[in-house]
């Protein structure tokens, strides 16, 4: 057996076989490592996209409901107090108790915030110093178009948006455009969500 092993070494077959085995093993390890890295990146991208979608859903759901059910304030003010590309102020009875809250969605830095003022007193007034502000959506990315766009024709969202300055009573449809990027510079990248709302009280105005 010793002689046979020595002969194999002399012929070089054992060394070549070892080198081939090592090379094959190395290739397999590299392939597995590459597949693992790709899987990790894919998993990270999917997780990021899911987080972005969940974050957007958390603001879109209440925002759409509140916009759709907007109404005159308890002081008789029009349903929409002010409107711009980065903010909107309107009135809606969010908890159905007869008190119509003043609701303000606005962008501050990269955070979408929501301010609520509950009317109080007799007669009822909206004390802006009592506004309660909460963060709704973080990691907003800049969009040259803005967050909100307004249309005078509820049937044609593809048409031209109202130009500024605008009259709030001319608004029939509100378009919302949110862009979120939880991990800038990494996958999955910015996630864009677009929807439109036609407030019920503005349909026939």
- pLDDT value, residue 193: 83
pLDDT digits (tens, 9 = 90+) for 50-83: 555 565 666 778 888 999 999 999 999 999 999 9
Burial of residue 30 (number of CB atoms within 10 Å: 0-12, 13-18, 19+) = exposed
- pLDDT value, residue 7: 47
Query: What is the pTM (predicted TM-score) of this model?
Result: 0.71
pLDDT-based confidence at residue 26 (cuts at 50, 70, 90): confident
- pLDDT value, residue 57: 66
**Greatest mean pLDDT range, 35-49, 76-90, 131-145:** 76-90
Q: Where are the domains of the chain?
A: 43-202
Looking up tokens 């987080």, which residue turns up?
Answer: 51
- pLDDT value, residue 46: 46
- pLDDT value, residue 113: 93
Contact 100, 109 (CB under 8 A): no
Cα separation of 159 and 82, whole Å? 22
């Amino acid at each position: 057996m010793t002689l046979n092993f020595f002969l194999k070494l002399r012929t070089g077959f054992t060394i070549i076989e070892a080198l081939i085995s090592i090379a094959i093993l190395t290739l397999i390890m590299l392939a597995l490592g590459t597949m693992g890295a790709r899987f990790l990146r894919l998993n990270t991208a999917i997780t990021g996209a899911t987080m972005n979608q969940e974050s957007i859903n958390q603001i879109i759901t209440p925002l759409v409901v509140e916009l759709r059910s907007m109404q005159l304030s308890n002081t008789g003010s029009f349903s929409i107090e002010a409107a711009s590309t980065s903010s909107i102020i309107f009135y809606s009875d969010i908890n159905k108790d007869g008190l119509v809250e003043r609701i303000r969605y606005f962008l501050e830095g990269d955070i979408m915030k929501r301010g609520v003022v509950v009317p109080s007193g007799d007669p009822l007034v909206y004390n802006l110093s009592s506004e309660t502000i909460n963060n709704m959506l973080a990691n907003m990315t800049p969009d040259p178009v803005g967050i909100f766009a307004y249309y005078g024709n509820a049937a044609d969202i593809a048409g031209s948006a109202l130009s500024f300055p605008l009259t709030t009573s001319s608004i029939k449809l509100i378009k919302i455009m949110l862009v979120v990027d939880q991990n800038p510079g990494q996958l999955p990248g910015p996630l864009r969500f677009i929807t439109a709302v036609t407030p019920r009280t503005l349909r026939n105005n």
